[in-house]
Amino acid sequence: MNILLIYGDELGTFGRYWKNALSKKHTVITCGPKKPDGNAQDIATNKNVVDILQVIGKIPKSKKPDLILQLDSPFHLYLQNLEKVKAKTAFFWTDVTIKLPILRHYAKCFNYIFTGCESFVPILAKTGLGASYLPFAIDPDYWDHRLEKTVDVGFVGNLSTIYNPKRAYYLKYLSNQVPMSVKTKIFEKDMAKFYNQCKIVFNLSVTPGINMRTFEALASGALLVQNASCTDIAKYFTNGQDFVAYRSPQEAVDLIKYYLNHPKQREKIARQGQKKIMEHHLYQNRADQLIDIIRNKPSQRKSKDEIEKALSKSIFMSNLGFNKDITEPLMAKIVPRTLHGFLVFIIKQIETLEFKWTIPFWYLALPFATLKARLDRLNEHSRYRLR
């Protein structure tokens, strides 16, 4: 199959994993923008709105796409004229929580929709989007299991208190009680090397879905300590056999301390989780599953009018300017341009409320946790001076 794979390339993007997996059995041409640290695409573009017909026109006849697959990425990238292509079209939507108000419109432009969180499938269905679930996975070429495990507890990820205040709270809580090593802005082989050196990896997914860190931790041969509210994990892994689950910050601390002091139990669970990953959860498995769905599941065909309306609403919700050949939605016409950003912000907060109902609590809890940690350090310093 000839596949046109569209995504924004940057260090750490899962588009690279998909390219490697799909290329083993199919002819793949990549298209999209890239960041300074990104790899060059076969067909480069730095525009927000791209005419897919012009892209296809640059592809040799023998490699014209049978499938156009776009992966969600941090870039705002929208395809125009999708209704005119002969190939099947698919969109892989990773982070529904952040981009729901934008991509719930844009996803309607495609024949097939995929998401990495099973809990989102019924939510998307409410908006008229029939999505298929494909969880994340790992690329086995990145993992070296010969490295000595010298790090007690590790975590790699974003420490933002804005996007994930709950995780920031937990990391502060844990760092005061267990030997945590926290890394940011390391990706791919550097990230894999760090995890391969960890005895335990801490994870907290913001949704009930399994995030990439779950698979990465298990692949490394470390013991995964995972939040119990990640309910999707039970479909593939068993608590106590493949990983261990916590329900509170203190329970996470207790589990970490216990398994650091019981290496044989820790290593047994870690080996079992790693075995499942290597047997069933490679990106090659996911690529085969995606192609199988597209070959056997009826496509959702959309009219020219439906696609044009969906595209214009997506562009408006991204707070981008409109090309002359794209009709603006009514809301964009009646609201002054200076107020677009504010209106988009309000709509986003309302539409993502069902995902964020716990966040105000964590915004309040985080400053108290920070203050408590400082007071504890002051008390410790005072006791030291009095000795």
**Mean pLDDT (10-residue bins), the chain, 387 residues:** 95 91 97 89 90 96 97 84 94 77 85 89 82 94 88 93 82 94 94 96 90 96 96 95 97 98 98 97 97 92 86 82 70 76 74 53 58 67 56
Q: Which class for 328: exposed (0-12), middle (13-18), buried (19 or more C-beta within 10 A)?
A: middle
Res 357: pLDDT: 43
Chain region(s) in the chain for CATH 3.40.50.2000 = 2-136+284-313, 140-281
Q: What is the CATH number of domain 140-281?
A: 3.40.50.2000
Res 358: pLDDT: 45
Res 258: pLDDT: 98
Instruction: Please choose, from the candidates 11, 14, 85, the residue with its C-alpha nearest in 3D space to the C-alpha of residue 51.
Output: 85
Q: Which CATH class is domain 2-136+284-313?
A: alpha beta
Longest dimension (CA), the chain: 81
Res 366: pLDDT: 57
Res 104: pLDDT: 81
Sorted by sequence, the CB contacts under 8 Å of residue 306 that are 6+ apart come out as 108
